Structure 1
Amino acid sequence: MGWISPRRLNRLGMLNMNRRNVDYIARYNERASYPLVDNKLKTKLAVAEYGVKTPSLLQVVRQQHEISHFREMAEDLGGFAIKPAKGSGGKGITVITGRDEDQYIKASGARLAGAELERHLTNILAGLYSLAGTPDVAIVESLVESAPSLAKYSYQGVPDIRIVVFQGYPVMAMLRLATKASDGKANLHQGAIGVGLDVGTGKSLNAVQFNRPVALHPDTGLAIDNIKIDAWDQMLEMASRCYEATGLGYMGVDLVVDANQGPLLLELNARPGLAIQMANGLGLLPRLRTIEDLKRPHFTPWERAAFAMDTFSAA
């Protein structure tokens, strides 16, 4: 896993923020599609029509008076996740992994009283975590149980996979591993590890934490250079299907591998960050141009995924 300096990445076709915003997001993303991906509930309903699985929806809390029924609904649940429908960057997401009488146990081991969770739901409805501070709804989903083959590499949090999809083609991918520094969240800015993945095989290529190279996970001590994602071709096809579901030309697709259900979509992002390039040690521009230069686009999600696996393979 060799370290590649930002200057060299520039020469390798690094996409910068301005160019991403003007040449790709503004050009290829219809404004009308934004509400669909900026709202997790709308995303779930839209992608379901295209055969893309998401964690099971247990409850939607839309009004303050519905909060009183929450504990009733959660009575028999071992674990669940509460999410603001219009939240971003993981803000406002609370993951509950167990119960101890009236105490809810978080992934970190911290305990919350039922009243605290209800207060959290009130804050979500008030728009505390929504993109523009507008009123929101809370969605309660089944807990993702990460596949053991990936879970062992992450500290507490569920590892997820970000795939950048351009014109329906998966062009670059990375695995995000939570650390103690990132508080068990797969957020690179907070200290999660970004592991570049070979689009052709789903194997790890390169890894960074705080934009510096790493070979071992700082908390689990495991080597990161020999990870392989199961059901990789299925994940790429799922990511590709999100193009038909949303009409977005440039987006980030976030997936997880559930131990029981296989690949699941967590969320979509119409403005995906650029750290995926550092994780891969490669710039996005050459791959985006390859797709732009296609004389004859592929019409099915599987054809696009297969083309990407063949064209962008590191082998």
Structure 2
Amino acid sequence: MVMGLGKIFGGAPRLHNPLDEILGINMRNALIAKYNARSAIERARDKVAAKVALEAAGIACTGTVAVIDDHQKLGEFKPLRDMPDAWAIKPARGSQGDGILLAVRREGNTWFKGSGAALTEDAVMHHIQKVVDGGFSGDSAAEDAALIEPLIIADPALAGIVPEGLPDLRVISLHHTPLMAMVRLPTNESDGKANLHQRAIGAGIDMITGRITRAVVKGTPITHHPDTGVPLIGFAIPGWERVLELAANCGPAVGLGYCGADIVLDVNEGPLVIEVNAHPGIEIQNICQEGLKARIAATGEDFR
């Protein structure tokens, strides 16, 4: 077990009102101001810089095909020559999934998205150029980098729950201690994306057992996946101990004291970190129906 979890989650059940334990946005911001230096926040925001820091710390991350961060590299890059049959292109400084382009297979000189839409080499180059020009960075005056990675193939246990797309895990940690976790499960309504705002499922996870305890879509509790009919409550996340180990080390590797680690389960490599968030949201508490405040206090943090 990751050090510190027994202290937080072991022992007799707590008797006080869980609503008293809710971490509000002001308190969350105070934690970020206290433990997340501006330089570390900037490092986490840049997916390439964060990946370099994570890999230097020995943390398993998704692979890298190429990083295109200037127009010289863009001019030398040839997708048909340099890219695999299945891949993901991500803006290094993008957010909320903007600018991510995925190909699931290649036939001849054409790739295909999960929807079946074709992607020519020209279309791929156009997208990479838009990324490098800062089209998805949130600042039109700032150039960006295109991070190209091999496409992750989900662990079959998780893949069997969803109709399509890649489920991912969000684990909130303070220093080396994981505090709360959920899995985000794509639906047909979310267009195969693990995005809660687009009606993906958010499912809370018991930190000790790694089993789903509660699942919701846009605040509505559910017990089964609405598209596949697979039962969710009680489902055990594969490789849970490894997930916790990765999450516990992500923040310190990037320089963050309080963070959210996003982790996927690859069919061959197991748990892999895809991103570290320096401003993790507080909605996870509504999904889990548990508060973060008491868990944070159990680590020794003084809120006064």
Tell whether the structures are fold-level matches, with TM greater than 0.5.
yes
Q: Structure 1's 12 and 224: CA in aligned 2 closer, same or farther, altered over 3 A?
A: farther
> How many residues align structurally?
285
Counterpart contact for 2:173–2:260, Cα < 8 Å: yes
Q: Structure 1's 113 and 9: CA in aligned 2 closer, same or farther, altered over 3 A?
A: farther
What is the aligned partner in structure 1 of residue 106 from structure 2?
Answer: 99
Structure 1 CA distance for aligned equivalents of residues 17 and 197 of structure 2: 19
Q: Structure 1's 293 and 60: CA in aligned 2 closer, same or farther, altered over 3 A?
A: closer
Alignment equivalent of 2:270, drawn from 262, 267, 277: 262
Counterpart contact for 2:163–2:188, Cα < 8 Å: yes
Alignment partner of 1:291: what SS?
coil
What is the aligned partner in structure 1 of residue 5 from structure 2?
Answer: none
User: After superposition, where does 1:103-114 map in structure 2 within 5 Å?
Assistant: 103-114=110-121
Following superposition, the deviation at residue 10 of structure 1 comes to: 7.0
Structure 1 CA distance for aligned equivalents of residues 27 and 218 of structure 2: 23
Fraction of identical pairs, as percent = 36
Counterpart contact for 2:18–2:290, Cα < 8 Å: no
What's the RMSD between the two structures over aligned residues?
1.8
Structure 1 CA distance for aligned equivalents of residues 34 and 218 of structure 2: 30
What is the aligned partner in structure 2 of residue 218 from structure 1?
Answer: 226
Alignment equivalent of 1:26, drawn from 13, 27, 33: 33
Q: Structure 1's 18 and 132: CA in aligned 2 closer, same or farther, altered over 3 A?
A: farther
Counterpart contact for 1:108–1:184, Cα < 8 Å: no
Q: Deviations over 1:261-280 (max 9, x none)?
A: 11100000001112211221
The one-letter amino acid paired with 1:27 is K
Following superposition, the deviation at residue 159 of structure 1 comes to: 0.6
Greater CA drift, 284-293 or 34-43: 284-293
Q: Structure 1's 72 and 99: CA in aligned 2 closer, same or farther, altered over 3 A?
A: closer
What is the aligned partner in structure 2 of residue 47 from structure 1?
Answer: 54
Alignment equivalent of 1:71, drawn from 52, 71, 79: 79
Following superposition, the deviation at residue 65 of structure 1 comes to: 4.4
Counterpart contact for 2:80–2:121, Cα < 8 Å: no
Alignment partner of 1:57: what SS?
coil
Alignment partner of 1:60: what SS?
strand
Counterpart contact for 1:97–1:107, Cα < 8 Å: yes
Gaps of 5+ in 1: 1-7, 295-315
What is the aligned partner in structure 2 of residue 308 from structure 1?
Answer: none
Counterpart contact for 1:62–1:138, Cα < 8 Å: yes
Structure 2 CA distance for aligned equivalents of residues 224 and 73 of structure 1: 42
Gaps of 5+ in 2: 1-15
Q: Structure 1's 9 and 276: CA in aligned 2 closer, same or farther, altered over 3 A?
A: farther
Q: Deviations over 1:171-203 (max 9, x none)?
A: 000011011121111111111101100110111
Counterpart contact for 1:54–1:266, Cα < 8 Å: yes
Q: Structure 1's 285 and 117: CA in aligned 2 closer, same or farther, altered over 3 A?
A: same
Alignment partner of 2:299: what SS?
helix
Following superposition, the deviation at residue 12 of structure 1 comes to: 4.4
What is the aligned partner in structure 2 of residue 154 from structure 1?
Answer: 162
Counterpart contact for 1:12–1:282, Cα < 8 Å: no
The one-letter amino acid paired with 1:104 is W
Following superposition, the deviation at residue 260 of structure 1 comes to: 0.4
Counterpart contact for 2:285–2:292, Cα < 8 Å: yes
Alignment of 1:142 onto 2:150 = yes
Structure 1 CA distance for aligned equivalents of residues 78 and 191 of structure 2: 26
Alignment partner of 2:42: what SS?
helix
Alignment partner of 1:140: what SS?
strand
Instruction: Give the TM-score normalised by structure 2.
Output: 0.89
Structure 1 CA distance for aligned equivalents of residues 257 and 275 of structure 2: 16
